[in-house]
Structure 1
Amino acid sequence: MRAGASVAGGVTAVIALVFGLVGADTPAALGVPPVCTNSLAPLGFRTSLCVTAPATGATVTGATTVRATVSVSGAAPAVNGVTYTLDGAYLLFDAESPYTFTLHTYLFTPGRHTLSASTAFSGGYDSPPLSMPLNFAASAAPPPPPAFAPATGTAPGPGMPLVVAAGGDGASGMAREHKVADLIAGWSPNLFLYLGDVYENASKEELLNWYGENGSFFSRFRSITDPAVGNHEYTLSPTAQPYVDYWGGVPHYYSFDAGGWHFVSLDDTAEYGQGAVTSPQYRWLADDLARNTAPCTLVFFHRPVFSVDADPEATEYRAYWQLLSTHRVTLTLTGHAHNYQRWQPLDGRGDVNAGGVIEIVAGTTGQWLSPFARTDPRLAAGFDSTTTGPGALQLRLSGGGATFSFQNVSRQVLDQSEVTCKG
Structure 2
Amino acid sequence: MKVLVVGSGGREHAIAYKASKNEDVDVVYCAKGNGGTALEYKCVNVDISTKDEILDFALREKIDLTIVGPEAYLVDGIVDDFKEKNLRIFGPSQRAANLEGSKAFAKEFMKKYNVKTAKCEVFEDYGAAIEYINKCGYPIVIKADGLAAGKGVVICQSFEEGEKTLRDFMIEGILKSSGEKVVIEEYLEGVEATILSITDGNTIIPFISSKDHKTIFEGGKGPNTGGMGVIAPNPYCSEEVLREFERDILNPTLKGIKEENFDYCGIIYFGIMITKKGVYLLEYNVRMGDPETQAVLPLLKTDFIELIEASIDKSLDDIKVEWIDGASCCVVASSKGYPEKYETGHEISIGNVCGKVFIAGAALRDEKLITTGGRVLSVVCVSKDLDKAREAAYEDIKKINFSGMYYRKDIGE
Note whether the superposition's TM-score is higher than 0.5: no
Larger fraction in helix? 2
Q: For the pair shown, which has the larger CA radius of gyration, 1 or 2?
A: 1
Quick one: higher RCO (CA 8 Å, sep 6+), 1 or 2? 2
TM-score (structure 2 length as normaliser): 0.25
TM-score (structure 1 length as normaliser): 0.24
